[in-house]
Structure 1
Amino acid sequence: MKPIAHSPDPDDLVSRLGRWSAGRGPLYLLLAARLRRLVDEGALPPGSLLPPDRRLAKALAVGRTTVVAAYDTLRQEGRLVRRQGSGTRVARAALAPAAAVAGDAPRVTETSNPLFLHLLEAPDDVILLSCAAPAEPPPELAEAYHSLVLPGGDLGYHPAGLGVLREAVAARYAGRGVPTGPGQILVTTGAQQGLSLLARLLLAPGDGVLVEAPTYPGALDLFREAAAVPLPVAVGPDGLDVAEAVRVMERHRPALAYVVARFQNPTGTVLPPLAGRRLVEAANALGVPLVDDEVLADLAFGTAREPLPLSAYGEVIAVGSLSKVVWGGLRIGWVRGPASLIARLARLKALHDLGCDVPSQLVAVRLLGDLGSVRAARLRTLRAGHAHLRGELARLLPSWSCAPATGGQTLWVRLPHGDGVSFAQVALRHGVAVLPGATADALGGSVRHLRLHFLLPPDVLTEAVRRLAAAWAEYAPALGAEPDEEAKAKPGGKPGASLQGITL
């Protein structure tokens, strides 16, 4: 995560704190421990100005006394300096071994995205409703590995991907009405690496990037790492506001436009075909590279014929993977684009890993040959989870609202009041991690939204909603009030400390 050299936004610091309250003991000690780690790792370099007590307390949904006690603990250790009128700063003496003083610290490009930070935490009693990926691999995956035959006389270094896999992915596009050759396919370590390579190749500091608001937070992380400037366009019930997107492209000529046309992450909307065609034609006419994230495109609940991908309407850079249909642990993705772009991306990828894991690529070839059965089983599970989660939300949290999804794996939930960032902190103390909508919205909107996935077994989803309801019962009456956090704390440091953790 990037070092904070000046006064951080409280919400940004909250995301960096991760699951700080999921341990045992008084909340102020848990908060002090996580802040201490950020200071010692250099994520909060010497001289950093921390948020005022009340602002951080509000963002964390705790009493001000909790933040004051945590700050004072670190002050006594010499890590923080607190002065009337100048705020709370990281002490100059609190210098991590590899760090320098504020302003001279080396650039750090680690993530501050709560979606990824939850994955970096050690296993604990928190149910992760924030990370949407299949938790169980299908039996076909194990069968494919069991029958795997590795090629002989091959170094195994293929930066652009194995030829047989590039051919299989290309054939899949051709079968969907988009003529594609293997030279137009780059195999990547998941779709995230594909987006990362595109950002590195196409973006320079200060470049504009058209993004949906809200959008996939992992993409926003990559664009910020490239020091690009997000140009957000709102997403409505029918997906991206294409008319506004065209105006933004005409006015700013961004270096890149990034969209999720089908089952948009996080809202679940689908861009109508005519709107998609207009977007592609405008981007092509204006010379704006258009990236379509297709990771969720195969997860349609209905039986109607699927619409053509954006690539059918013109020059589009498509990014896909097997992580949502098969399993998140199968790190095989791809980029489809002009052969000249793919060749440049392959040269860039060669700098980093010389090519993806060969056994996984061979397994992917086999799975792509019979993806229909794997996809059908995944969709049955998704449809059942979708119905169950919506039913439990209606039963236990009737004041929350969310439209039914037509595909994908998440619900976009609106709270009746409050904000998702502070509620997520209360939910965490009840054993559930959720993704606040504001973390995905470069417009600064979606404050009252949460993204919840329905990939967990029915009994776990029921337990997750029960905990969310308990968190809401604590949170809603306290809006505008300042609870006495230490009086509320139970032995063990948090309500329900003995419960199995859940992430939605």
Structure 2
Amino acid sequence: MTEPIPWPVERLVAQLGRWSVSRGPLYLLLAERLRQLIDSGQLPPRAALPPDRVLADRLAVGRTTVVAAYDRLRQERKLERHQGRGTWVSPAVSAGPWPGALPRANPLFVNYLEPAEGVIPLACTAPHGPPAELVAAYGRAVARLPGPDSGDIGYHPLGLPALRSALAERCTARGVPTTPEQVLVTTGGQQALSLLARLFVAPGDTVLVQGPTYPGALELFRDAAAVLEPLPGDDVAAWTTALAARPRLAYLNPTNHNPTGSTTSPLVRRRLVEVAVAHGVPLIDDEVLAGLAFDGSCPPGLAAFGPAITVGSFSKSVWGGLRTGWIRASEGEIAQLARIKAVQDLGSPAFDQLAAVELLPLLDDVTRSRGAELGRRHDHLCAALAESLPSWDFRRVDGGQCLWVRLPSGDASAFAQVALRHGVAVLPGGALDAAGGSADRLRIPFTATPGELTEAVGRLALAWDAYQRAEGPAPAAVHAIVV
């Protein structure tokens, strides 16, 4: 293994700059600044950080502040720490044998979203190509463009009025009475979550999340220096206790859950909303995957049971390139979110919103069709894994876009690097687990075509064989008596 690269304490202190000027616990502020340096590549893979006491002395803080910051980043797998050997930046995803492949400090949003040529992208769950209905909607949207003398400057921080009205009508039809003033159009679901994190979360605030959950949300909450508390999705007792402690925010993905594919029952949804309302905890319902059940069913969102904030998007049900999402919340919350959004981008692209207006009347048909196709691809992937990788364990699902696969041995992050060298990008479970667990898990989507899935599983089988050979023979089985 390549030895860590010594990183002088003077250089690190200069890079940290004025890291402590924000509000919140010092260890979270230090961890956030170190995370920024790692993700930007300014702290490269295997950079050896100064010992706890040395850095603490130079920063004029207690040693426990540095220890807590290092440990937080170790849980996020951004740092590695070994007693007697020190602390260093975790290795980036290894460069593969294909031209132009580069190691990345943050593979989730770089290598995995835009893999090198020849790599099958099984790390992202977005649809592979736009449906015909969207192409036609863009064609019709041209006629909706305002004329040169209309006086329309094209900036709509809250979103186009026609789209906000159509989304409000859609929410109302699903059992959640909504006015256009309760809707904010965003540049995709990811911006919606980013705006909500900006509005609600300050450094050190506790945010409840499911364990595991959508990795993009975890990244946003970590960027806000939140303290993440992961809970099992359907453990009502655990959620009731955690909500009673009055965390700042709770985030759930209860419909066709990413990554497990499960859907929370209406009874549990009602109870979670009741408890959150009783303790004054804002509750975010990420409905980006709603409507993607294989049988076309779609349960009521959390907002049907009481005050809850809903996030929606076209990215998973239609196409990732349609960067149009929305937030449904109270009028006061929408007004605050609109001010934050206006500072960021002055409003989402108008032409995409015009296409969304054209597409909305057909959205239920599009999602039902896509859900049925995902069901067929789900079955194809399950069959391919059972044939080529029978030792891998997974549960068949009824909706969503991915399988939550358990490896029989080894570490999923290490295997993901081997898989990348064999031309498949897969997401290891640690990226989706706020507790730093799920080290034996992979998220494998079934959004690709059957042919691509067959090829991908074949490459994964070759990668697994290579990984097992590198790991050496498995230890002898230990039989225990369970009482």
Q: TM-score of the superposition, structure 1-length normalised?
A: 0.73
Offset of 1:117 from its aligned partner? 2.1
Which residue does 1:178 correspond to in 2?
A: 176
Which of 242, 245, 258 lines up with 1:248 in the alignment? 242
Which residue does 2:457 correspond to in 1?
A: 465
CA distance in structure 1 between the partners assigned to 2:437 and 2:396 by the alignment: 21
CA distance in structure 1 between the partners assigned to 2:257 and 2:383 by the alignment: 22
TM alignment of 1:177-326, pairs within 5 A: 177-234=175-232, 239-251=233-245, 253-303=246-296, 305-326=297-318
Which residue does 1:156 correspond to in 2?
A: 154
Which residue does 1:66 correspond to in 2?
A: none
**What CA deviation, in whole Å up to 9, does each residue of 1:69-122 have, x standing for no partner?**
xxxxxxxxxxxxxxxx876989xxxxxxxxxxxxxxxxxxxx965331225656
Which residue does 1:99 correspond to in 2?
A: none
Distance 1:316 1:481, change over 3 A: same
Q: 1:124 corresponds to which letter in structure 2?
A: E
Q: 2:49 corresponds to which letter in structure 1?
A: L
TM alignment of 1:86-485, pairs within 5 A: 113-119=106-112, 121=114, 123-148=116-141, 149=143, 150-152=145-147, 153=150, 154-234=152-232, 239-251=233-245, 253-303=246-296, 305-479=297-471
**What CA deviation, in whole Å up to 9, does each residue of 1:298-356 have, x standing for no partner?**
101125x5321111000000101011111000000000011100010001100011111
Which secondary structure state, in structure 1, belongs to the residue aligned with residue 230 of structure 2?
A: strand
Contact 1:113–1:218, Cα closer than 8 Å, also in 2: no
Distance 1:39 1:464, change over 3 A: closer
Which residue does 2:76 correspond to in 1?
A: none
CA distance in structure 1 between the partners assigned to 2:86 and 2:195 by the alignment: 40
Which residue does 2:56 correspond to in 1?
A: none
Which secondary structure state, in structure 1, belongs to the residue aligned with residue 288 of structure 2?
A: coil
Q: Per chain length, whose mean CA-contact separation is higher, i.e. which structure has more relative contact order (CA < 8 Å, sep 6+)?
A: 1
Q: 1:428 corresponds to which letter in structure 2?
A: L
Contact 1:39–1:45, Cα closer than 8 Å, also in 2: no
Which residue does 1:11 correspond to in 2?
A: none
Q: Sequence identity of aligned pairs in percent? A: 55
Which secondary structure state, in structure 1, belongs to the residue aligned with residue 111 of structure 2?
A: helix
Distance 1:180 1:399, change over 3 A: same
Which residue does 2:23 correspond to in 1?
A: none
Q: Aligned residue pairs: how many?
A: 391
CA distance in structure 2 between the partners assigned to 1:190 and 1:421 by the alignment: 28
Offset of 1:215 from its aligned partner? 0.7
Contact 2:115–2:121, Cα closer than 8 Å, also in 1: no
**What CA deviation, in whole Å up to 9, does each residue of 1:253-290 have, x standing for no partner?**
11100000111111111111111100000001100000
Structure 1 gaps, min length 5: 8-36, 52-84, 91-110, 483-504
Q: 2:167 corresponds to which letter in structure 1?
A: V
CA distance in structure 1 between the partners assigned to 2:270 and 2:41 by the alignment: 48
Q: 2:238 corresponds to which letter in structure 1?
A: E
Distance 1:171 1:127, change over 3 A: same
CA distance in structure 2 between the partners assigned to 1:222 and 1:41 by the alignment: 18
Q: TM-score of the superposition, structure 2-length normalised?
A: 0.76
Contact 2:284–2:311, Cα closer than 8 Å, also in 1: yes
Which residue does 1:12 correspond to in 2?
A: none
Contact 1:385–1:455, Cα closer than 8 Å, also in 2: yes
Which secondary structure state, in structure 2, belongs to the residue aligned with residue 366 of structure 1?
A: helix
**What CA deviation, in whole Å up to 9, does each residue of 1:436-482 have, x standing for no partner?**
11111112221111100111111111010001111111222433579
CA distance in structure 2 between the partners assigned to 1:334 and 1:428 by the alignment: 34
Distance 1:245 1:256, change over 3 A: same
CA distance in structure 1 between the partners assigned to 2:446 and 2:462 by the alignment: 19
Distance 1:382 1:282, change over 3 A: same
Q: Does 447-456 or 375-384 show the bigger shift?
A: 375-384
RMSD across aligned positions (CA): 2.7
